[in-house]
Homo-oligomer: A and B are copies of this chain.
Amino acid sequence: MRDVATLAGVSQPTVSRVLNQKYTTIPISDETRMKVIAAIDALGYRPNMHARSLRTQQTQLIAVLVADITNSFYPQIARSIQQIARHHGYDVMISNSDHVHEYEQHFCETMIRRTVDGIILVPFHLTEFDLHELYRETKTPIAVLGQQINHPQIDVVYGDDEMGVYEVTDWLIHEKKHCRLGYVGVSDVFPPGERRRRGFLRAVEHANIDVQTVCMLESDFTLEGGKQIGQYLLRLDSLPSALVVANDTMALGIMLALQDRGIRIPEDIAIVGYDNIPETTIIRPTLTTLEQNPAEIGTTLVNLLFERIENPDLPSRRIKIPNKLIIRNST
């Protein structure tokens, strides 16, 4: 910047003013501006964001932590966030926790040392207290995908998965007349695990079905995990007539394992998933599932975040993204 100033025959702060003219009201003569711009072009000067960040305490950067970048659900969120952020002149730093607690914590540590202007994350192990600490240390606007978080300065977006699973289970029972049900969830250490299981059980009880007769299983969100559940089901004396699965990826694994051994879907067993990832339309039969609209989730998160960046004292908001039952051929 000093070189630019020298070449333009002005002082270094004047160059800075030309650069920041949009954001300030300080007047600059046309002649000076021309000279400075010419010098910038001649030297190929580019401002140094580290220095600017140090001085302004702003970064023009937002950070995003997703829970599993290899699960198609999250890249779609990340992508819509990045699109809007770009529009606002912000860069996006995407990270991946792989559902691992330690990596989630490491992300928070990083955010404390490497401050950013906003944080979007999908907390699985991080508690409300952890996020409170994160906010206390960073004072940075935060938006999360996670119904379980309640914090006065943190915006929350969520799909109402307890209700969603309740409704799809209810639909299986009353519309599709299933009474031998099974459920494949994930551990309660993951917040969606408990909520989705509860939704399932509520529907079962509401239908006066004996909870003892339903088959409750648990796996780990992954295709492999789903396959193992499939193997397990094959060893049972009799299959449930319908299976509610807590995410699509596991549902796919279950379908593959069952079909490998000649089980017909939906004739022998109906299956519903959760998320509506693209693979649900690739598998045959196509998978009935509860849609979580990832583009809308991403858009909502980033819009909330930018509103809070502009106005940090906003009261926290909770936005429910409606789930939608997508009926396909697996039921």
Contact = CB atoms under 8 A, between A and B. Distances in A.
B91 A110 contact: yes
Contacts of A44: 137
Interface stretch (A162-170, A228-236, A276-284): A276-284
A38 interface: no
Given A94-B94, A110-B91, A223 B48 contact: no
Contacts of A137: 44, 46
Contacts of A103: 86
A252 interface: yes
A93 B96 contact: no
Interface of A: 44, 46-51, 53-54, 59, 61, 69-70, 72, 75-76, 78-79, 82, 86, 91-96, 98, 103, 106, 110, 112-115, 137, 223, 252, 256, 259, 278-279, 281-284
15 contacts: A46-B137, A48-B115, A49-B115, A50-B115, A69-B78, A69-B94, A70-B72, A70-B75, A70-B79, A75-B96, A91-B114, A223-B282, A259-B284, A282-B282, A283-B283
